Structure 1
Amino acid sequence: MSSVVRIERVFKEYLLGEQTVQALNDITLAIEPGVFLAISGPSGSGKTTLLNLIGCIDRPSSGDIYINEQNVSQKSANELADLRARSIGFIFQTFNLLPVLSAAENVEYPLLRRKDLSTTDRKRRVNYFLDIVGLGKYADNRPNQLSGGQRQRVAIARALAVKPAIVLADEPTANLDKATGIEILGLMKKINEHLGTTFIFSTHDQKVIDHANRLVKIEDGGIKAFGIRNQKSNWHIARAAPHAVSATEQNSQ
Structure 2
Amino acid sequence: MAIVQVENVSKRYRLGEQEVQALRDVSLTIEPGVFLAIAGPSGSGKSTLLHIIGCIDTPTAGRVLIDGRDVSGQTPDQLADLRARTIGFIFQTFNLLPVLSAEENVEYPLLQFPELSKHERRERVAHYLEMVGLAKFARHRPNQLSGGQRQRVAIARALATHSKIVLADEPTANLDRHTGESILELMKEINRRSGTTFVFSTHDRHVMNLADQLVHFEDGAIVGEERKAERDAPPAASGGDASTFAAGSGDLR
Q: Alpha-carbon deviation of 1:75?
A: 2.6
CA distance in 2, matches of 1:177, 1:77: 34
CA distance in 2, matches of 1:163, 1:233: 32
Q: Alpha-carbon deviation of 1:61?
A: 0.4
> Are 2:116 and 1:117 aligned?
yes
> Are 2:218 and 1:216 aligned?
no
Partner of 1:11, secondary structure, is strand
Tell me if the contact between 1:5 and 1:65 (Cα under 8 Å) persists in the aligned partners.
yes
Tell me if the contact between 1:227 and 1:235 (Cα under 8 Å) persists in the aligned partners.
no
Tell me the residue number matched to 2:190.
191
- Cα deviation, 1:160-192, whole Å, max 9, x if unaligned, reads 001111000000000110001110000000000
For structure 1, which runs of at least 5 residues remain unmatched after alignment?
Answer: 237-253
Tell me if the contact between 1:228 and 1:235 (Cα under 8 Å) persists in the aligned partners.
no
Q: Alpha-carbon deviation of 1:11?
A: 0.5
CA distance in 2, matches of 1:95, 1:17: 29
> Are 2:61 and 1:62 aligned?
yes
Task: After the TM superposition, list the runs of 4 or more consecutive aligned residues in structure 1 that deviate by more than 4 angstroms.
Answer: none
CA spacing shift, 1:232–1:215, aligned 2, 3 Å:
closer
Tell me the residue number matched to 2:228.
229
Tell me if the contact between 1:229 and 1:235 (Cα under 8 Å) persists in the aligned partners.
no
Q: Alpha-carbon deviation of 1:210?
A: 1.3
Tell me if the contact between 1:133 and 1:157 (Cα under 8 Å) persists in the aligned partners.
yes
Partner of 2:58, secondary structure, is coil
Tell me if the contact between 2:7 and 2:27 (Cα under 8 Å) persists in the aligned partners.
yes
Tell me if the contact between 2:132 and 2:186 (Cα under 8 Å) persists in the aligned partners.
yes
CA distance in 2, matches of 1:42, 1:231: 23
Q: Alpha-carbon deviation of 1:232?
A: 8.1
Matched ranges for 1:152-163 at <5 A:
152-163=151-162
Structure (1 or 2) with the larger CA radius of gyration = 2
Count of residues in Structure 1 that have an aligned counterpart in Structure 2: 235
Q: Alpha-carbon deviation of 1:78?
A: 2.4
- Cα deviation, 1:102-155, whole Å, max 9, x if unaligned, reads 000000011111112111111111000000000011100001111111110000
CA distance in 2, matches of 1:17, 1:151: 36
Tell me if the contact between 2:12 and 2:19 (Cα under 8 Å) persists in the aligned partners.
yes
Partner of 1:37, secondary structure, is strand
CA spacing shift, 1:149–1:235, aligned 2, 3 Å:
farther
RMSD, aligned α-carbons: 1.5
Tell me the residue number matched to 1:16.
15
Tell me if the contact between 2:3 and 2:68 (Cα under 8 Å) persists in the aligned partners.
yes
Tell me the residue number matched to 1:205.
204
CA distance in 1, matches of 2:81, 2:149: 28
Quick one: which amino acid aligns to residue 224 of structure 1?
V
For structure 2, which runs of at least 5 residues remain unmatched after alignment?
Answer: 236-253
- Cα deviation, 1:39-79, whole Å, max 9, x if unaligned, reads 00000000000000000000000110000010001333323
> Are 2:170 and 1:149 aligned?
no
Quick one: which amino acid aligns to residue 12 of structure 2?
E
Partner of 1:58, secondary structure, is coil
Partner of 1:24, secondary structure, is strand
Tell me the residue number matched to 1:71.
70
TM-score, normalised with respect to structure 2: 0.90
Q: Alpha-carbon deviation of 1:90?
A: 0.3
CA distance in 1, matches of 2:77, 2:19: 28
CA distance in 2, matches of 1:195, 1:79: 28
Tell me if the contact between 2:57 and 2:76 (Cα under 8 Å) persists in the aligned partners.
no
Decide which moves more: 137-146 or 14-23.
14-23
CA distance in 2, matches of 1:78, 1:92: 21
Tell me the residue number matched to 2:167.
168
**% identity of equivalent residues:** 61
Q: Alpha-carbon deviation of 1:211?
A: 1.2
Partner of 2:198, secondary structure, is strand
Quick one: which amino acid aligns to residue 203 of structure 1?
T
